[in-house]
Amino acid sequence: MILELDNVTVTFTAGPPFRREHVHAMRGVSLYVAEGETLGLVGESGSGKTTASRVALGLQRPTAGAVRFEGKPFPKRRRELAGHMQAVLQHPHWSLNPRMRVGASVAEPLAVLGEKAPDRVHEMLERVGLEAGLATRYPHELSGGQRQRVSIARALVTRPRFLVFDEAVSALDVSVQAQILNLIKDLQREFGFSALFISHDLGVVRYIADRIAVMRGGEVVETADTATFYTAPAHEYSKRLLEAL
């Protein structure tokens, strides 16, 4: 088991003192991601899937419940996970530092670990279908699809065992989206990482994931194999999502 969320609850407080409001972003969520598999997480904005991704990445501490990574409870210091998990995030426009060359962006996770390996940067760029020469370019010279490929290269350069894709293809055009989805599938076969793939788009999740969890109002309402989602989802809400495709 790579990642386990065990009965996780996250509560945010808002408002002035004495009249604080408590908002449950996640309510008793249990999920797991097994070795080498992709778990798809679908839900609309406000369903708690973004919070779930932050919890999985160790950016958000649960109010209650436990998170285990590779069988061990999350370390107190996030840095101890450096290089073991990475993420590909939503906005191709903001995923790369505009003041850093592409090569430096891809090398950053290595630099954090104190490693220098320009060969690996070039190799990684080629693995995601880009020319190694792109390393000296700045992000604004790249298209949206190219930038998202660079983000994937950056995420994979430390050969992590676990990746989170948070709406990673949502901002891309349909024809480019298909290229990136196929790339992710190919890379997963090659590198064997486990993944949590979060999206509001059931069509995309269904294509990429092995299992699918549906979130709504901070709770997981259904978890099932992808095949079930092509044929007969159990929950009423999942059926509605499917019909909307």
Partner 1 sequence: MTALLEVRDLAVEYDSGERRVRALDGADLTVAAGETIGIVGESGSGKSTLGSAVGRLLPSTANRVTGDVWLAGERVFDLPPAGIRRLRRERLGFVFQDPIASLDPTMRVGKQLKLVLGSKGDPLSHLDRVRLANPGRVARMYPHQLSGGMAQRVALAIAMACQPRLLIADEPTAALDAQVREEVLEVVFSVAAEAGTSIVWLSHDLTAVARRCSRVAVMYGGRVVEDGPAADVLGQPAHPYTAALARSAPAMASLGDRLSPVPGRPPVLAEASHGCAFEPRCPYAEERCAKERPELHVVRTQEALCHRATELVTAS
Partner 2 sequence: MKDWLTRAGMVCLGLIVLVALASVVNLAGDPDEIVGPRLAPPGPGYWLGTDNLGRSMLPRIMEGIATTLLLSSVAVLVTAALSAVLGIVAGYRGGVVNELIMRLVEVLYSFPAIVLAILVAAVFGPGQLAALASIVLVTIPLMTRLVRAAAVGVAQRDYVTAAIISGARLPRILGRHLLPNVAGTIAVQVTYALSVGIAVEGGLSFLGFGVQPPQASLGVLIQQGTTYMTAAPWMITGPGVVFVVAVLAINVVGDGLRDRFEPRQARSLV
Nearer to partner 2, 27 or 91 (CB): 91
Stretch binding partner 1 (CB under 8 A), from 23-31, 117-125, 160-168, 180-188:
180-188
Tokens at residue 229, please? 């989602």
Should residue 3 be labelled a site residue for partner 2 when binding is judged by CB under 8 A? no
How far is it, in rounded angstroms, from Cα 125 to Cα 159?
14
Show the 3-state SS of the chain.
CCEEEEEEEEEEEECCCCCCEEEEEEEEEEEEECCCCEEEEECCCCCCHHHHHHHHCCCCCCCEEEEEECCEECCCCHHHHCCCEEEECCCCCCCCCCCCCHHHHHHHHHHHCCCCCHHHHHHHHHHCCCCHHHHHCCHHHCCHHHHHHHHHHHHHCCCCCEEEEECCCCCCCHHHHHHHHHHHHHHHHHHCCEEEEEECCHHHHHHHCCEEEEEECCEEEEEEEHHHHHHCCCCHHHHHHHHCC
Q: How many residues contact partner 2, by CB under 8 A?
A: 31
**31-90 positions binding partner 1, by CB under 8 A:** 44-46
Q: Which backbone phi and psi does 4 adopt, to 5 degrees?
A: -130, 130
Stretch binding partner 2 (CB under 8 A), from 12-20, 148-156, 210-218, 232-240:
148-156
Closest distance of CB 92 from partner 2, Å: 9
Should residue 148 be labelled a site residue for partner 1 when binding is judged by CB under 8 A? no
**47-76 positions binding partner 2, by CB under 8 A:** 57, 59
Should residue 204 be labelled a site residue for partner 1 when binding is judged by CB under 8 A? yes
Should residue 86 be labelled a site residue for partner 2 when binding is judged by CB under 8 A? yes
Should residue 85 be labelled a site residue for partner 2 when binding is judged by CB under 8 A? yes
The answer to whether the CB of 23 falls within 8 A of the CB of 63 is no
Nearer to partner 1, 19 or 45 (CB): 45
**104-143 positions binding partner 2, by CB under 8 A:** 105, 108-109, 111-113
Q: How many residues contact partner 1, by CB under 8 A?
A: 31
Tokens at residue 208, please? 């990429």
Closest distance of CB 158 from partner 2, Å: 8
Stretch binding partner 2 (CB under 8 A), from 84-92, 115-123, 203-211, 218-226:
84-92
Should residue 235 be labelled a site residue for partner 1 when binding is judged by CB under 8 A? no
The site for partner 2 (CB under 8 A) is made up of 57, 59, 78-83, 85-87, 89-91, 94-100, 105, 108-109, 111-113, 151, 154-155, 158
